[in-house]
Structure 1
Amino acid sequence: MGPQQTNIMDPQLPTHHKAIVYDKPGHISTRIDTVETPRPGVGEVLVHLTHSGVCHSDHSIMMKPPTLAGQVGGHEGVGTIVVLGDEASCGTLKLGDRVGIKWVAGVCGTCMACLAGRDAICANVKISGLYTPGTFQQYVLAPANYVTPIPDGVPSEMAAPLLCGGITVYAALRKSGAQPGECVVIPGAGGGLGHLAVQIASRGMGLRVIGIDTGDKEALVRSLGAEAFIDLTKYSRDKEGSDKLVADVRAATPRVTGAASVIVCTGSNTAYGQSMSFLGFDGSVVCVGLPEGDSVPITGAIPGAMVAQELRIVGSAVGNRKEAIETLDMAARGVVRTHFTLEPMSKLTDVFERMERMEVQGRIVIDLSRVD
């Protein structure tokens, strides 16, 4: 007898469901549509999503070609498995298991990047919300071997942003090479990525944190474990102001020798340009946030200085399956806690507008049970 097939839709499941689509790619505009609820194939599960985090990458996908009108965005989804494609191909997963859908929706598992555990740069990677239907909807298909189990005790709305933001900064901190007791600087410390990086660095990895952001985020950043905070609004935007900021950051580092690493969690060319000057010897700049507009080289990446101080610049995309599990485990142990605001599906356009105005503290999570 072959594997038991369980891909017949439960009559209690809807034939259609609500999804948020990008209706005018290139503009901040979304629309709630009714779409057909799909059936899982071999090796797939159907997940009833309850929450989805909103990431700046979603904004970027919406605003740039080749995104097509009607694309369902989102890549930080949490829900329960309601249909298994077939039991044999779904491993140990069971109906009712709570799982997460990540930025990487699935990988080939056989290319050199996959074999090295570098899931995000898989040669055949599938990205949630880019060609592959994302998590801004009430039901979604997912590869059974790529969903992330959500630990008991971690609320779904808190877990959702960890599936991209949390994993991303955890992977970046691991790549930084910074050791317990050393200092890391986090530009964008009060944002969606940064506020998670501060917690994981200080509480989970024993690092000393200097946060950089606007003054309205100081209380949040300090409460999450930062030893020092630099308020960007107190510095002019000219060279004199930039030099003063660099001097103040270095003065705040232990023994005034510079930081072991800078984890750039903001999409700011200015932040990248200053980052090299924050470092002490053998330091690293880890590139996480992606500036928009024209590509600009990192100012200060001078070969002579990099050789003399043995400095490094490291690119870091989202983490792999193991790092996803480790990040959620930290949440279960209380090491990291997402600071979020819940919004209904109808508010996604407004969320993107607030994000563009840099008015968001922490993370926004869409409650997919609330349409209006």
Structure 2
Amino acid sequence: MASPIPTHHKAVVYDKPGEISTRIETVETPAPGAGQVLVHLTHSGVCSSDHGIMTNQWTHLPPTPAGQVGGHEGVGIIAAFGAGAEAAAAAGGLKLGDRVGIKWIASICGACIACLAGRDAMCPAAQVSGFYLPGTFQQYVLAPANYVTPIPEGVPSDLAAPLLCGGVTVYAALKKSRAQPGDHVVISGAGGGLGHLAVQIASRGMGFRVIGIDSGEKEEFVRSLGAEAFFDMTKYSRDQAGSDKLAEDVKAATLRGVGAASVIVCAGSNPAYGQALGFLGFGGTLVCVGLPEGAPVPIAGAFPGNLVGRELAIIGSAVGNRKEAIETLDLAAREVVKTHFVLEPMSKLTDVFERMGRMELQGRVVLDLSREY
């Protein structure tokens, strides 16, 4: 028998946007409208994008409103259907009580050119979980019945949560990389929340030869995920000479020393982008994933002569679509990728963001939404 739906539930809000500060509040549990499901959330991943939204560090976005419930990597069970939602859910093989996931993109129009092309994040009507829409740092949330992601049997909810943004984001980026099985692919920020998933999917799921770049204490971790080479970025100076030396060493680790087929920049770091083009061989592709906080900075070295002379490509990759989310969870079901995470109660979110800001996290943090403290 299903548990009764409470009139109110607990949520973690950004109480001082612009600062690292969160607070647990009691909020009203909404009723699902037409085409919606009410999801009883049990877990939510914590993403660097949440940090950027909370602190207003992404200058291309409007400021975050006070009281915003953040989060966009939620997993829970369908607790109730709105009008017409049961049929929409059934079309996707879902019913009451099934586990589903909430993603960065909460909903799309489904009819525009971007949606028809499977570029969900480019939909002009897209809504973002946790940004001007209640997100997943709470115990109950509304979602469109046709946009939630089914969670495969055998994939634990806490492990699945970060895959709904971090996992699908790097999976989509790797598909855009133009690399072929056997090619060298560099993952910048290889030990972080995005990077540690990218290393596994690239090496175990796509047959790429992975070179990881991160701070030295993460080397053993990154190699255990499937990287065949690793470079400690802290051993290189942050000036041009340091970037040139790192590029020389990375190229030396590739087949015949010609350079990598692709670089996936998972780190939200301007220096990481400034180094990336130097890792590439001719015809290589730089895939932009991590978004640096603060004022926008152009990618160093991205002048036409360099791009034309070496036939390089620079592309952006913004999360993934519904099909790619399902494929990412299937990779987890087949044990190709496994989230490495620490489980924390809701009350620890401020501390998690502080550690994230200091770049102290390895892998991911997942909130257990059944625990306040």
TM value normalised by structure 1: 0.96
Q: Partner residue of 1:315? A: 316
Q: How does 1:208-287 map to 2 (within 5 A)?
A: 208-287=209-288
1 CA distance for matches of 2:5 and 2:274? Answer: 52
| Pairing partner for 2:28 from 36, 59, 62 | 36
Q: Partner residue of 1:16? A: 8
Q: Partner residue of 1:5? A: none
Q: Partner residue of 1:152? A: 153
2 CA distance for matches of 1:30 and 1:147? Answer: 26
Matched, 1:114 2:105: no
Q: What one-letter code is carried by the residue in structure 2 that aligns with 1:66? A: P
Matched, 1:27 2:19: yes
1 CA distance for matches of 2:88 and 2:174? Answer: 34
CA change 1:11–1:224 in 2 (3 A) is closer
Residue correspondences, number = 363
Q: What one-letter code is carried by the residue in structure 2 that aligns with 1:33? A: E
1 CA distance for matches of 2:252 and 2:215? Answer: 19
Please report how far the alpha carbon of residue 11 of structure 1 lies from its aligned counterpart in structure 2 after TM superposition: 8.1
- Say if 1:42 and 1:89, in contact at 8 Å, map to a contact too: no
Q: What one-letter code is carried by the residue in structure 1 that aligns with 2:225? A: L
Q: Matched residues, percent identical?
A: 75
Please report how far the alpha carbon of residue 255 of structure 1 lies from its aligned counterpart in structure 2 after TM superposition: 1.2
- Say if 1:76 and 1:160, in contact at 8 Å, map to a contact too: yes
1 CA distance for matches of 2:89 and 2:111? Answer: 19
- Say if 2:238 and 2:271, in contact at 8 Å, map to a contact too: no
Q: What one-letter code is carried by the residue in structure 2 that aligns with 1:344? A: P
Please report how far the alpha carbon of residue 241 of structure 1 lies from its aligned counterpart in structure 2 after TM superposition: 1.8
1 CA distance for matches of 2:102 and 2:162? Answer: 10
1 CA distance for matches of 2:301 and 2:173? Answer: 21
SS in 2 for 1:330: helix
Q: Partner residue of 1:305? A: 306
- Say if 2:29 and 2:140, in contact at 8 Å, map to a contact too: yes
- Say if 2:236 and 2:243, in contact at 8 Å, map to a contact too: yes
Q: How does 1:81-160 map to 2 (within 5 A)?
A: 81-86=78-83, 87-92=86-91, 93-160=94-161
Deviation per residue, 1:107-144 (Å, 9 max, x gap): 00011111110001111000000111000000000000
Deviation per residue, 1:53-109 (Å, 9 max, x gap): 000000111111521111000000000001011333433421111000000000000
Please report how far the alpha carbon of residue 232 of structure 1 lies from its aligned counterpart in structure 2 after TM superposition: 1.1
Runs of 4+ residues deviating >6 angstroms: none
SS in 2 for 1:220: helix
2 CA distance for matches of 1:342 and 1:244? Answer: 39
Q: How does 1:329-340 map to 2 (within 5 A)?
A: 329-340=330-341
Which is worse superposed, 305-314 or 280-289? 305-314
- Say if 2:244 and 2:278, in contact at 8 Å, map to a contact too: no
2 CA distance for matches of 1:241 and 1:13? Answer: 58
1 CA distance for matches of 2:74 and 2:293? Answer: 25
Q: What one-letter code is carried by the residue in structure 2 that aligns with 1:44? A: Q
Deviation per residue, 1:307-330 (Å, 9 max, x gap): 122110000000000000000000
- Say if 1:47 and 1:141, in contact at 8 Å, map to a contact too: yes
Q: What one-letter code is carried by the residue in structure 2 that aligns with 1:345? A: M
Matched, 1:290 2:282: no
| Pairing partner for 1:67 from 55, 60, 64 | 64
Matched, 1:51 2:43: yes
Give the superposed CA RMSD: 1.0
Deviation per residue, 1:141-175 (Å, 9 max, x gap): 00000000000110000000000000000000001
Gaps of 5+ in 2: 57-61
- Say if 1:44 and 1:90, in contact at 8 Å, map to a contact too: no
Q: Partner residue of 1:192? A: 193
Deviation per residue, 1:166-222 (Å, 9 max, x gap): 000000000111010001001100000000000000000000000000011001100
Q: Partner residue of 2:372? A: 371
Q: Partner residue of 2:178? A: 177
Q: What one-letter code is carried by the residue in structure 1 that aligns with 2:215? A: T
2 CA distance for matches of 1:67 and 1:221? Answer: 34
1 CA distance for matches of 2:314 and 2:123? Answer: 21
